[in-house]
Amino acid sequence: MAELRVGALYPDLMNIYADRGNLAVLERRCAWRGIGMRVTSIGIGQALDPEAHDLIYLGGGQDRDQRLCAADLVATKRAALHAAAARGAIVLGVCGGLQLLGHEYQLGAERLPGLGLVDLRTVREPGPRLIGNVAIEVDLGDGPRVLAGFENHGGRTYLGPGERPLGRVLRGHGNNGRDGGEGVRRGPVIGTYLHGPLLPKNAWFADWLIATALGMGPLGPLPGDELEAAAHAAARAAAGI
Ligand code: GLN
């Protein structure tokens, strides 16, 4: 039986808006297809085996939790995460997780170090937090699709010149409320500000992650997925997007 091996980074600390629910969706959608899933939690001070995971997940967190994780990520996991991404393991970061994929998160005079897996920087600028429902258009190679979610971040993220966002903002703020980009994607390294959590609201994206992480062809829909598609269509029609 195929098995999806997931490394869950700091599942207790980085779990704002129940981001851990993303793992529950991966597990269920694997199980419904007869694919196993093994989750290994990797906490503060614990080493990460770069060969051991098909998908490594880092959820969002408050600034104070991010501070703990940033120091630990750089001290104990940075090289292993680069090695895992280099062999094609998916690294998925949500919100605080997205911010930590980049070079740094600047909070006033303080700079939280990041992993440097992608070329981006995040700054806590003066001004309101960027909060609200968000929809983005993404193209993962099979045509444009929509991801829906909820964002709440004080940090504004700016991508370096060679870096591509995950998607284009249709509604909401995105990375910084200015440039129309949302998240980041460089090969298997993917970051987004979308909570929801992300995968319960976008089951198709969970399937894409499973298939890509396991090197499988596209997974067909499951019974009931038409309800999600109809809900998305109705919400988009109501929002005029
Ligand atoms: N603490 C970060 C910020 O406020 C990320 C918040 C989050 O993960 N929701 O920008």
The predicted structure's pLDDT at residue 235: 86
Question: Which residue among 66, 100, 158 is best mutated to probe the pocket of ligand 1, counting the most ligand atoms within 8 A of its Cβ?
Answer: 66
Number of other CB atoms surrounding residue 167 within 10 Å: 26
141 three-class SS: coil
Is residue 153 within 6 Å of ligand 1 at its C-beta?
yes
- pTM for the full model? 0.96
Determine whether the shortest distance from the Cβ of 96 to ligand 1 is under 6 A: yes
The residue that leads in pLDDT, 127 or 1, is 127
pLDDT surpassing 90 at residue 101? yes
Residue 191, ligand 1, Cβ within 6 A: no
Q: Are 191 and 164 in contact (CB under 8 A)?
A: no
pLDDT digits over 9-24, tens only? 999 999 998 888 999 9
What pLDDT score does 241 carry? 87
Catalytic residue among 30, 53, 69, 95: 95
173 close to ligand 1 (CB < 6 Angstrom): no
Mean of per-residue pLDDT scores for the chain: 96
Amino acid at 115: L
CA–CA distances in Å: residue 60 to residues 22, 69, 124: 11, 11, 16
Q: How many CB atoms lie within 10 A of CB 63?
A: 16
